[in-house]
Amino acid sequence: MRMSRRGFSGAAGILALDAVTGFSRAETMMTKLPFAADAPLSVTTVGIKARDVNTLADYYKHAVGLQEIARRPGTIVLGAGGLPLLEIEEFKAARPDDPRSAGLYHTAFLLPARADLARWTRRAIDRRIQVTGASDHLVSEAIYLTDPEGNGIEIYADRPRANWDFEGDSLKMGTLPLDVENLLGELRPGHSEWTGAPAGSMVGHVHLRVGNAAEAEKWWNSELGFDTMLNFGGSAVFLSTGGYHHHVGANAWQSAGARERDADRTGLSFVEFRSKDAKSESVHEDPWGNIIRIVPAAA
């Protein structure tokens, strides 16, 4: 089955649930370090280049709930709980990103608990935030957006690791319609207001556009030691360390045959990973020029 973010028919679908007000389910809370972060390598920060840094930063504050962490000339850093997650660098002369080229498919912001995703969803309905999809991936539940400069965004919550299923050596993932009514059932009276991305939010994974999924799989396996969790028919691959469902997705759905990405376009600047084993920082480029930074975990 092809994995895509089109599991839900856009904003009209989510807004149609405007009247849903169920409060029957107990709030599911996270009590320890997210599985995505408790791995040999995990995503820390994604960098993107923008033609209008302020407009893009305002969008992530409003739509995703990130807070401004730092501001330098031409750069705004956004995050949650005081931790940087997204670095937006202004590049006014850049050409718009080309979705048929290599680059960023989406940045995936992992929320600490399912109830946080429910709170975000309730606010998206109330504020008429436009969405491009909503899916149940079996291992997680996700809602998708596109920022004003065309960068994809995923906002998601993981299902407990004990509930993930495997088919042989491959993790079982899918793209089913998200049960929004069931998700909103996580909300409890007095605990339904979204006040921004909570502490403990992180970039759970990053999904890249590549020219060839098999070549991407080989590169991540051999260059950085990632394990293949699932290969979707040769057109997409999902990789991780430590058994997470994926820290990296790579697909050639729109970008098959793409060559090295143009440096003068908006979109992906870098992806930074924290490594438990690295002794020093290093920078790598995948076969399409996507920049991968590795930094040692703090002692």
**Structure confidence at residue 233 (pLDDT):** 87
Average pLDDT over residues 86-100: 96
Average pLDDT over residues 108-133: 97
- Full 3-state SS string of the chain: CCCCCCCCCHHHHHHCCCCCCCCCCCCCCCCCCCCCCCCCEEEEEEEEEECCHHHHHHHHHHHHCCEEEEEECCEEEEEECCEEEEEEEECCCCECCCCCCCEEEEEEEECCCHHHHHHHHHHHHHHCCCCCEEEECCCEEEEEEECCCCCEEEEEEECCHHHCCEECCEECCCCEECCHHHHHCCCCCCCCCCCCCCCCCEEEEEEEECCCHHHHHHHHHHHHCCEEEEEECCCEEEEECCCCCCCEEEECCCCCCCCCCCCCECEEEEEEEEECCCCCCEEEECCCCCEEEEEECCC
In this structure, how many other beta carbons lie within 10 angstroms of the beta carbon of residue 232? 19
CATH topology of domain 10-16+34-296: 2,3-Dihydroxybiphenyl 1,2-Dioxygenase; domain 1 (3.10.180)
Percentage, residues of the chain above pLDDT 70: 89
Average pLDDT over residues 185-190: 90
- Greater confidence (246 vs 192) lies with 246
**Structure confidence at residue 299 (pLDDT):** 54
**Structure confidence at residue 4 (pLDDT):** 38
pTM, two decimal places: 0.90
Handedness of CA 207, 208, 214, 215 (dihedral sign): negative
**Structure confidence at residue 32 (pLDDT):** 65
Q: Whole-angstrom Cα distance, residue 205 to residue 102?
A: 17
pLDDT at 67 over 60: yes
**Structure confidence at residue 8 (pLDDT):** 34
Average pLDDT, the chain: 90
| In the chain, where the domains are located | 10-16+34-296
pLDDT at 83 over 50: yes
Which whole-number Å values give the CA distances from 231 to 106, 214, 227, 296, in the listed order?
18, 9, 11, 29
Where on the phi/psi map is residue 103: left (φ > 0), alpha (ψ -120 to 50), or beta?
left
Average pLDDT over residues 264-290: 97
Structure confidence by residue, pLDDT tens digits, 117-129: 999 999 999 999 9
Supply φ then ψ for residue 214, to 5 degrees.
Answer: -65, -40
Structure confidence by residue, pLDDT tens digits, 71-82: 999 999 999 999
Q: Quickly state the pLDDT bin for 37 (edges 50, 70, 90).
A: very high
Average pLDDT over residues 210-225: 98
pLDDT at 5 over 50: no
**Structure confidence at residue 20 (pLDDT):** 34
